[in-house]
Each structure stands twice: as C-alpha cells, then as structure tokens.
Amino acid sequence: MSTEDLNQEQSDDLQMPTELDLLKQRATLMGIAFSNNIGEETLRQRIADKQAELDAAASGAENTGEEGDTVQQEQGEVNALEAGASLKEEVTTERPLTLREKIRLEQMRLVRVRITCLDPKKKDLPGEILTVANEYLGTVRKFIPFGEVTDDGYHIPYCLYKMLDARKFLNIRTFKDRRTGTVRVESGYVKEFALDVLDPLTPAELAKLATAQKAAGSVE
C-alpha cells in the first residue's frame, strides 16, 4: 500500500463530527428528548429554550436566598430593638428600697448648719470628733468644727446633726441669794450646742464653693 492510500484511510477514520452531531450530544447532556431525524435548527432552538429555563431557575433561587437573608436581617434588627427596649425597661424600673437603704438615705443626707458650742469647758476647742454606729449605718465618724468657721454654714450628716441636737452638758453656776446673802450653787443639764439650720446652697453657691475648695487644695 502506498503512502497516499495510507493517509487517505487515516483521514476517513478521523472524520470530524458535524454541527448536528454536536447539538445532539449537548441535548443529551441537558436531558432534552429528540428524534433521530430532527433538524439542526429545531434542535438548536430546543437547546436555547432549555438553557433559558435553567438560567431563570438559577436566578430565582438566588433572589430567594437574598430575600431570605433580608428577612433574617430585618428579624434580627427587630429582635435587637426588642431586647434593647426590654433592657431599658429593666434598668428604668426601680426596685423597692430595703429598710437599710431607706434608713441610710435619710440619716446620711447633709444638713447645712451653724454650730455654736455652749459648754464653757470647751470654749478653746476648735471642734470635736463625733461617731454614730449601728447595724443599719455602720460607723459614721466626722470631725465637727465649732464657732466662726461654721458662720457660713457647715454640712454634716443628719445622724450627726441629731446627735449634736440631743447633746447636753451639766451646767453649774453660783449666785448670791439676795435675801440671805449666801452663795448658792445650781446645776442642771442644758443643751450643749446651739444649732442654726441654714437653707441649702444654690447651684451658683455650690459652684463657688467647689472653686474655693480646689483653690485651697482641700479637694482634688
């Protein structure tokens, strides 16, 4: 056999598929039914219709997924708002005060007073350390000044104010009886402190006091 005959035989064995053959292969892969004698244009149209159907289905699934994400996001935002509102309601709802808290609020409120010590034995003292202690307040201890330093008012806890107001001392005095001419001695318990309760400071006065205290280095 000559070389030309061999080449011709190989060429016949390697014959390329036609356009219709390729369309049939694609239709088979896409699950499209067709007859053996179907025309090329008819099969091409069926393939195009099937592809359009598949593209539409894929697009619909994607949109559904996006809508689902949007719904979940909106639901999450609603839940977050509801949770925030619930938390705010819990924070703003005041619980009833316990007996200890009520007593402490009442007894630890500040009273602005002017204090004068009436006990002559303490006339040279600048002040005194007072202490109140019980199961509700614990221990309250504070230095209380007397005299001129309190002329503009001095703030003390109400529990210490009550202690000062209740304090008494034994006052002993002597005098000469006009009828007999003898010296007589009288004694009795009298109030130890004269307390003048002053009006609370106004916001402007509080600001002025804070400035003065900072300048004096009494507060940070």
Encode pLDDT of 12-38 as tens digits.
444 566 787 788 888 787 788 888 888
pLDDT at 74 (0 to 100): 53
Are 34 and 43 contacting, i.e. CB atoms less than 8 angstroms apart?
A: yes
What contacts 122, CB < 8 A, 6 or more positions away? Answer: 128, 146
Q: What is the pLDDT along the chain (220 residues), one digit of tens a residue?
A: 544 554 454 444 445 667 877 888 887 877 888 888 888 888 888 888 888 888 888 777 655 555 555 545 555 554 555 555 555 555 555 789 898 899 999 999 999 999 999 999 998 999 999 999 998 889 999 999 999 999 989 999 999 999 999 999 999 888 888 888 888 888 999 999 999 999 988 888 888 877 877 787 655 5
Taking the CB of residue 20, how many other CB atoms lie within 10 A of it? 14
Query: Over the stretch 92-116, which tens digit does the pLDDT of each residue have?
Result: 557 898 988 999 999 999 999 999 9
**Cα–Cα distance, 113 to 192 (Å, whole number):** 15
> Residue 141 is which amino acid?
R
Q: Which helix (H) or strand (E) holds 79?
A: helix 40-92
H-type alpha helices, 93-137:
99-107
Residues in the chain: 220
Half-sphere exposure of residue 50: CA atoms within 13 angstroms, side-chain side: 16
SS3 138: strand
Q: CA–CA separation, 220 vs 213, rounded Å?
A: 9
Return the number of other C-beta atoms located less than 10 Å from residue 186's C-beta.
9
For the beta carbon of residue 110, count every other beta carbon within 10 angstroms. Answer: 14
* Integer Cα distance of 167 and 119 in angstroms: 11
Angle, helices 19-29/40-92, rounded to nearest 10 degrees: 30
- Cβ atoms within 10 A of the Cβ of 121, count? 9
Whole-number Å distance between alpha carbons of 141 and 131:
4
